[in-house]
A and B are shown apart, each in its own frame.
Chain A
Amino acid sequence: MITPAVIGLLVFFVYPLLASLWYSFTSYNLMSPPQWIGLRNYTYLFTQDPKVGKAALNTLWFVVFMVPIRIVSALAVAGLLVRVRRARGSWRSVFYLPALVPPVASVVAFVFLFNPGTGPVNRVLHLFGVDGPLWFNDPALAKPSLVLLSVWVMGDIMIIFLASLLDVPRELYEASSLDGANGAQQVVHVTLPHLVPVLLFAGVTGVIAALQYFTEAAVASGVASGKATIGAGASAAIGYPDDSLLTYAQWIYVRGFGNFQFGYASALAMVLFVVASVLVVFMMRRVGAYTPSEAS
């Protein structure tokens, strides 16, 4: 019964890992067989590649800023919703529905909304006498613009937080009230401890998503640059503006499928593998310490 899954794991996971390792020591363009070049790919990666550092830092930026900002805003909305008494279902839908919009559609929409010259956002800002910034066309603001997008689509973790908040046993509040705790103390001593598992879950999944951040950044660059994707190739606009949206995952794609340097792209992939493994193991340890072990 489990044989297909085992085959799947071997063909689509174990074998590719080993093959990636082998390719990473070769020069390989898919046209002719891989040729062994030793550590050449790795020396280029660590000492010469002009963009790998930038790509890694951008990915780190998303891990450090996007993940917590998303969690905090989802928590804030969930905290408000939990106190609403009437029509909670409708309120919940308002904040949840954006999460359903397909990522490509939401990015295309946001690049349009935040278009510096003609987008509604800057038009509205203009009404208030504010000169709107360049948003997706400004290297300094492109990443924050994507964070705004990620907040707009935070509905899925918001729902989880909301469920967890509603799940806090009422007796705990009663008991702490009797002990004389005020609202703020209740939040710190009752609500937050109860939320720890879901917060960790959101953190872990958020970090994992940030490590492979690709679609939103790639589509935003493509649409905002105004470059025709035709002709110049799918990788032409990647990173626009000024490589500020170039993530590590995209760099693997560009070197692999834009330049057809499969050997070098595999070396990049192996480095990602090591970093991601370390992070995942570290986080699993942490999570393991908090989650009560499940039976069976």
Chain B
Amino acid sequence: MTATVIEATAQPSPLRPEARAPRRTRSLGVWVAEHVALVTLAVLFVAPVVFVVLTSLMPAEQTLTATIWPTSWQWSNYLEVFRTVPLARWFGNSALYAFGATACMLVSSVPAAYVLAKIRFRGASLLFGAIVVAMLLPPQVTVIPVYVLWSKVHLTGSLLPLILPNLFGDAFSIFLLRQFFLTIPREYTDAARVDGCGEWRTLLRIVVPMARPGIAAAALFSFFRAWNDYFGPLLYTSENQAAWPVSYGLATFRGVHGTDWSITMAMTVLVTVPVILLFLFAQRVFVEGITLTGVKG
């Protein structure tokens, strides 16, 4: 089933031609209406990007005027961002957080998901239920005691309280991975066991290669959640500018540095670009991943 979904998404195949064929005259009108709607919507969706990029290239004074097209192209606005704040460092922190959290998550959650998907044991359903509840409850419910724990071990002021817990499994990733692993027919894992493979070998040799798209999707989700996180860095790093990730730095940028809109928009663009690049690079995995969560979740 998963395979067909991806195929269908990827193929720009004409749809239900037989339903349309007999009513060609009317479909022309429908076709026009649909495309007018699409183009209008597309313009509305693209316009914010255009305005933001144009503003990021304006002279500072111009942002307060009615002219939308830059009177002169201030590419230096982008350099100005780096001069105003330690942006390179913040990007480094974001990368550390995103890669660190994702690596830790994979190490802990892949085996956990495998156990939940492929091994029967007492308490399995209770454990799975707990993971689902942990995944669904708002983080604010547990945030205070967790903060107290980290403050007792003096790790607040760094990103570690956001990275380390991933070593102990991440509920959402476990859930997602388990759903992927369930689609692997039991015969494969049973056969591996008959051949004398231990659980770890079965997991690494049989399950992981077969579930590679699923694991890639879970990793991407984890990466993006960390990259985009604002609440976590607000709690744990706000007092230590040297530990800020870019998303948090951007949120405080205009307030703290009283910066003009043009520079603020330049930073907005800078924060967004890596994510878009990553998407273009891993587009297929991405769309598959999202589709799979939706269809299977």
Interface residues of A (CB under 8 A from B): 1-2, 4-9, 11-17, 19-20, 23, 30, 77, 80-89, 91, 94-98, 100-105, 108-110, 112-113, 118, 120, 123, 152, 156-157, 159-164, 166-167, 170, 173-174, 177, 186, 197-198, 201-202, 205, 208, 211-212, 214-215, 218-219, 222-223, 227-230, 234, 248-249, 252-253, 256-257, 262, 265-266, 269-270, 272-273, 276-277, 280, 284, 294-296
Contact = CB atoms under 8 A, between A and B. Distances in A.
Contacts of B293: 160
B152 to A, nearest CB: 10
27 contacts: A4-B168, A5-B168, A7-B168, A8-B108, A9-B127, A9-B168, A13-B142, A15-B145, A20-B144, A83-B15, A85-B12, A95-B41, A97-B279, A100-B276, A108-B253, A109-B48, A112-B261, A113-B52, A157-B294, A159-B291, A163-B291, A214-B231, A215-B230, A215-B231, A218-B251, A219-B230, A277-B137
Contacts of B51: 113, 120
A6 B272 CA distance: 36
A190 B138 CA distance: 36
- In this complex, which of B136, B138, B167, B174 has the most chain A Cβ atoms within 10 angstroms of its Cβ? B138
Given A163-B5, A173-B19, A223-B255, A272 B141 contact: yes
B297 A201 contact: yes
A6 to B, nearest CB: 7
Interface in B17-75: 18-19, 34, 37-38, 41-42, 45-49, 51-52, 55, 63-66, 68
Given A85-B14, A167-B8, A229-B255, A160 B291 contact: yes
B45 A94 contact: yes
How would you classify the secondary structure of chain B's contact residues: helix, strand, loop or mixed? helix
Contacts of B265: 109, 112
Contacts of A152: 45, 48
A153 to B, nearest CB: 10
Contact of B15 (A82, A87, A197): A82
Nearest to A12: B165
Contacts of A11: 149, 168
B247 A30 contact: no
A120 B116 CA distance: 52
A84 B284 CA distance: 20
Given A19-B148, A30-B151, A296-B186, A102 B235 contact: no
Q: How large is the interface on B (under 10, 10 to 19, 20 to 34, 35 or more residues)?
A: 35 or more
A20 B251 contact: no
A94 B67 CA distance: 26
A266 B134 CA distance: 17
B255 A252 contact: no
A167 B5 contact: yes
Given A230-B255, A280-B137, A101 B168 contact: no
Contacts of A89: 12
Given A85-B12, A296-B186, A269 B264 contact: no
B235 A229 contact: no
B143 A280 contact: no
A80 B295 contact: no
Given A5-B174, A167-B295, A248-B140, 20 more contacts: A8-B108, A23-B144, A80-B41, A83-B34, A100-B279, A101-B275, A102-B227, A103-B247, A105-B247, A159-B290, A162-B9, A164-B294, A214-B231, A219-B251, A222-B251, A227-B255, A228-B255, A256-B144, A266-B145, A272-B140
Given A13-B142, A97-B276, A276-B137, A230 B8 contact: no
A189 to B, nearest CB: 14
A20 B109 contact: no
A204 to B, nearest CB: 8
Interface string B243-284: 000111011111110100100110010011001100100000
A17 B228 CA distance: 26
- In this complex, which of A2, A161, A270 has the most chain B Cβ atoms within 10 angstroms of its Cβ? A2
Nearest to A232: B255
B100 interface: no
B9 A163 contact: yes
B182 A294 contact: yes
- In this complex, which of B64, B112, B139, B294 has the most chain A Cβ atoms within 10 angstroms of its Cβ? B294
A4 B169 contact: yes
B275 A100 contact: yes
A120 B63 CA distance: 10
B210 interface: no
B238 A234 contact: yes
B140 A212 contact: yes
Contacts of B230: 103-104, 214-215, 218-219
Nearest 3 interchain pairs by C-beta: A8-B168, A160-B294, A5-B169
Contacts of A208: 136, 138
